[in-house]
Amino acid sequence: MSRIENKNIRRIYRNQSEAVVNALWEIFTGGGYADKVIERTLKADARRGSGDRAFIADTVYGVVRYRRLLEELCGIKNISTPRDVWQMVGVYILREGGSLPPWEEFQVIDIDVVERRYDSVKNIRAIRESIPDWIDEVGVSELPDVWDDEIAALNRQAQVILRANTLKTTREALKRELEKEGILSREVENLPNALELVERKNVWATKAFADGMFEVQDASSQRVAALLAPQPGMRVVDACAGAGGKTLHLASLMENKGSIIAMDIYPRKLEELKRRARRAGISNVTTRVIEGSKTIKRMAGTADRLLLDVPCSGMGILRRNPDAKWKLRPEFIDEITATQYHILSTYSKILKAGGRMVYATCSILPRENARQVERFLKENSDFRLIEQYPIYASVDGYDGFYMALLEKNK
């Protein structure tokens, strides 16, 4: 059997399967991003029930995740017709433990041939785990002791993790509210505000979400703001805020007191952050667009706490972004590491003497993580490392991450 998990897929229907194939065709031949394509596909027909929606999303992500392996099992060199995609979908469903209806598109599948092909490639990690050769080479080079287990873990479907918004509720109260809406969850060990869904559900349609009682945020991501440990009344800067997931967590830890300046180069992301902050009942966040080096220079020496959740390769979150491995290029990692170090060395000047900052990425590659911090400390003697954490999906069961807590000397 393959490394694809057996979920015993239920009976499938024509309209569901057509939606899956159309979505995959757009992703594979049109360059579409899986999450956006799935979102559009699900919105296109509001009549679909929760089971239909789950089948479409899970199957699209599953085929994207195992694209290289499925092409190998189907004998496909280049996806050139929708029939290629139908065949890949059929093989994926079979290897997940499902059964296929007697449709013409599935008639070309010979399961004996599929299994013989699998036996011939199952010991080739890059094919078995369905990744480009160059990513496998990078993983072996940078993470020789954990790579085999790690890339397998990054091919497993990500859990849905919630963070209770403590400005409005508690984890226990949120758990009860979700149960009223038919959503069961369990507490995540060592994370005081985290809940993991027992079964994937559309939590964005709940009253609890509309009321701002929680955010969807992976367990590893929730550790970042906690490591920074901001206190009520402090001046905190989230310098790469994006749409604000960690900004909102910082605000809750600060009990909505003090001030948070959330910064980014993309105004549309900051607009989304403001919308989310309103729903969460947060009032101590202001946004600021980074328009150049002057924006950073004006803020020198002003922050008690600084979060640098820098852009990265995303190599730690392939579980939830499986198409990233097909879009990522070797040269991008070189470019992004240069960007990361520029941000670390330049934005760190925002911190006051005696202040603390967290440098974080959602990557597992040492060149983006510990090596960046090591270089920074060699070139900046006024900082010291307090602690650092590489997080691996194969060890912790959640997204791969890295975070380092540094302090500026008084």
List of domains in the chain: 14-130 (1.10.940.10), 161-216 (3.30.70.1170), 219-408 (3.40.50.150)
What residues are labeled active site?
Answer: 362
- Quote the pLDDT of residue 410: 77
Give the pLDDT band of residue 10 (cuts 50, 70, 90).
low
Round to whole Å and give the CA distance between 98 and 91: 10
What does the pLDDT look like over 335-356, one tens digit per residue? Answer: 999 999 999 999 999 999 999 9
Amino acid at residue number 342:
H
DSSP for residue 398 = S
CA distances from 268 to 247, 283, 287 (A): 16, 19, 11
Residue 186: strand pairing partners = 196
Is 50 exceeded by the pLDDT of residue 4? Answer: no
* Higher local confidence (pLDDT), 7 or 400: 400
Pairing of strands 401-408, 235-238: unpaired
CA distances from 401 to 43, 192, 310, 408 (A): 32, 19, 12, 23
- Quote the pLDDT of residue 6: 41
CB atoms within 10 A of CB 300: 12
Q: What is the token pair recorded at 43?
A: 């919105």
Question: The pTM is what?
Answer: 0.92
- Quote the pLDDT of residue 358: 98
Q: What is the DSSP string of 346-397?
A: HHGGGEEEEEEEEEEES---GGGTHHHHHHHHHH-TTEEEEEEEEE-HHHHS
What does the pLDDT look like over 189-212, one tens digit per residue? Answer: 999 999 999 998 889 999 999 999
Round to whole Å and give the CA distance between 246 and 264: 13
Round to whole Å and give the CA distance between 243 and 266: 9
- Quote the pLDDT of residue 5: 41
Amino acid at residue number 316:
G
Degrees to nearest 5, angle at CA 316 with 310 and 322: 115
Query: Which residues are CB-contacts of 280 (< 8 A; sequence separation ≥ 6)?
Result: 165, 167, 168, 212, 215, 248, 251, 252
Round to whole Å and give the CA distance between 280 and 165: 7
- Quote the pLDDT of residue 70: 97
Tell me the average pLDDT of the chain: 94
Average pLDDT score over residue span 300-309: 97
Round to whole Å and give the CA distance between 21 and 210: 33
What does the pLDDT look like over 112-162, one tens digit per residue? Answer: 999 999 999 999 999 999 999 999 999 999 999 999 999 999 999 999 999
- Quote the pLDDT of residue 46: 79
Round to whole Å and give the CA distance between 270 and 285: 11
Whether 185 contacts 197, CB under 8 Å: yes
